[in-house]
Amino acid sequence: MIKRLIHNTLISIIAFGGAAVLGLVVIPVILRTWGVTEFGLIVLARLLLPTGMMAVFDLGLSEVATQTVARGREHRDWALAARQLTFLSVVSILLALSLSAAIWIGVPHLAMLMKVDAAHFEAFVSILRFTALGNLILIPALVWEGIIKGFERYNLLRVTEVTSTVAYVGLTILASYRSVGFEVVAYIYLATLIGRALVVLLGAAIALGRKNTRFSSWTSDIRRDLLHRCMLLLQGRLIGGISGPLQPLVVGFLFGPTGVGTYDALVRLSRVSRTVVSLLTSALLPVASRLDERGSSTTFQRLGELGLILLPMFTVPLFAAAAILSPDILRIWIGPLLTPYSTWMGVSFVAPICAQYIAIGSLIFLTRPEIQARLNMLMGLQLLIWAVVSAATLHLFAERALILGQAVANVLVLPLQLSQLRSALDLNLERFAKAIGTQAAIMVVGSVCLWIIAGYIQFDSVLRLTLGSGVFCIIVWILQYFLVLEKRHRTIFLAMGQLMGLVPKSI
């Protein structure tokens, strides 16, 4: 099980990481060809897809389907899994019909609320109409993707992800050369998503067919259980989504497409980086579900503890280096267009840094609704702080106030979230506080040193940026290895090496 987890994680990082880099490359192409306003309109159109704002309303269908298949594999009860998947499929179709109809009806009003000018109004409305139709496929595809994840066939997901991204980037660059309308970029993106969804559907059908799984009627107990899980996930998504995926929509209401374009360009790198890093935990849910079903509490606890300490140990230095070197990164990546706002790009990394400390804990406790409910309450507090800070500073920083609000909210609520996860995992308070405190001290001191060095050294090329951030990360990693990790934590590296055949088992 663990070997497959590591294998799937590596596949996800390599494949999706490459796709993410391609996605970043195409942004300067769009900005230079069509402009900030047109880029903002493209971003707004994507918000109404399951990859954007619609993820807030997707009821966690993918995660629930993943847990359903994982439990089916663990207990070999495919009759029960079939009934549960049938119910989830019906819910996804009803949700798709409802959201698509709402978008179709509200398109003209949405365009006016977004302050779309007359020159772009008709094209934008047309994009939203096709987006509504696309959701009829893309929302049910969440269940199909969850099934694939439950079977831990991440190679299929990542191949389709890379293929669709390569197609999108290539066709967008071609559209740029031919100087077609900006709306073509939106249609290209939608078409590649639909193509990927259909391939995933085929894969899910084949996987279920091998288990002789057929659509079956569900019982009232199944309906209540799955709806309870979906409602908890919906609650968390609504709270987190307002301070996340919904932010560009808020910017659009307040400042129009140009504000959205500026905001998205400033937060895109931190958001993509966070998504790429989240792939370290992407294959974990089916494993956690199976461990929970077995009642393996000791292994479950160890998994959570390692996640709270090891994940930020590896990932936070990467985010910190990017935040400190944001002025140089923005200048090399996009050019002088947004250089005056480079500090805000650095601030946007605060939220993903905080998220690293709770990422694995939040994920594995999707299997325990009572813990999930408590974490949702803390997300509600986070939302409240975000709203207050953003509203108070809106007149000073315009669309950037939302970045500030999110950073402040994440920092203030993080200690409470860590406390909740530590308690749920029954970890020793003194040891845990020492590990997290030492880790934070190393990061603060190291970041200040890098910031001082950046004032004297010009990081004016990708090579220099890579070398500078690489040296910083290596030093911080070494310090954390010896000062943060206990001996029992370090054994995980030897065990992983032996598991993957990289280290002889006699050591």
Predicted confidence at residue 257, as pLDDT, reads: 79
For the record, the structure tokens of 311 come out as 């994940």
Predicted confidence at residue 50, as pLDDT, reads: 84
User: What digits encode the pLDDT tens for the residues 48-60?
Assistant: 888 777 777 788 8
Would you give the end-to-end CA distance of the chain in angstroms?
A: 22
Predicted confidence at residue 132, as pLDDT, reads: 92
Is 3 a residue whose pLDDT tops 60?
A: no
Predicted confidence at residue 235, as pLDDT, reads: 72
DSSP sequence for 282-324: TTHHHHHHHHHHHT-HHHHHHHHHHHHHHHHHHHHHHHHHHHH
Residues 296-305: contacts with CB within 8 Å, 24+ apart?
Answer: 300/364, 301/425, 301/426, 301/427, 303/360, 303/364, 304/360, 304/361, 304/364, 304/421, 304/424, 304/425, 304/427, 305/425, 305/427
Predicted confidence at residue 187, as pLDDT, reads: 93
Instruction: Give the pLDDT mean for 314-322.
Output: 91
Is 295 a residue whose pLDDT tops 60?
A: no
For the record, the structure tokens of 256 come out as 């129009």
> Residue 412: how many CA atoms within 13 Å on its side-chain side?
17
- Cβ atoms of 27 and 334 within 8 Å: the answer is yes
User: What digits encode the pLDDT tens for the residues 103-135?
Assistant: 999 888 888 887 888 888 888 889 999 999 999
Predicted confidence at residue 20, as pLDDT, reads: 65
* Interatomic CA distance for residues 201 and 162, integer angstroms: 17
Residue written as token pair 């954390």: 480
- Which range has the worst mean pLDDT, 39-48, 234-243, 255-264? 234-243
Is 250 a residue whose pLDDT tops 70?
A: yes
Element containing residue 119 per DSSP (H, E): helix 118-138
**Phi-psi domain of 218 (left: phi exceeds 0; alpha: psi -120 through 50; beta: other):** beta
Average pLDDT over the chain, rounded to an integer: 82
- Which range has the worst mean pLDDT, 64-78, 107-121, 203-217, 481-495? 481-495
Is 289 a residue whose pLDDT tops 80?
A: no
- Cβ atoms of 331 and 341 within 8 Å: the answer is no
Is 16 a residue whose pLDDT tops 70?
A: no
140-164: string of b/e by CB count within 10 Å (b at 16+)? Answer: bbbbbbbbbbbbbbbebbbebbbbb
Helices 36-46 & 2-34 angle (0-180, nearest 10)? 140
Instruction: Give the pLDDT mean for 24-44.
Output: 83
Instruction: Give the pLDDT mean for 297-309.
Output: 71
Is 452 a residue whose pLDDT tops 80?
A: yes
User: What digits encode the pLDDT tens for the residues 381-409?
Assistant: 888 898 899 889 988 888 888 889 989 99
Give the start-to-end residue ranges of the domains of the chain: 1-244
If one counts every other C-beta atom within 10 angstroms of the C-beta of residue 281, the result is 20
* Interatomic CA distance for residues 110 and 128, integer angstroms: 9
Helical residues (DSSP H) of 35-117, grouped into ranges = 36-46, 61-75, 78-113
Predicted confidence at residue 366, as pLDDT, reads: 67
If one counts every other C-beta atom within 10 angstroms of the C-beta of residue 221, the result is 9
| pTM of the complete model beyond 0.75 | no
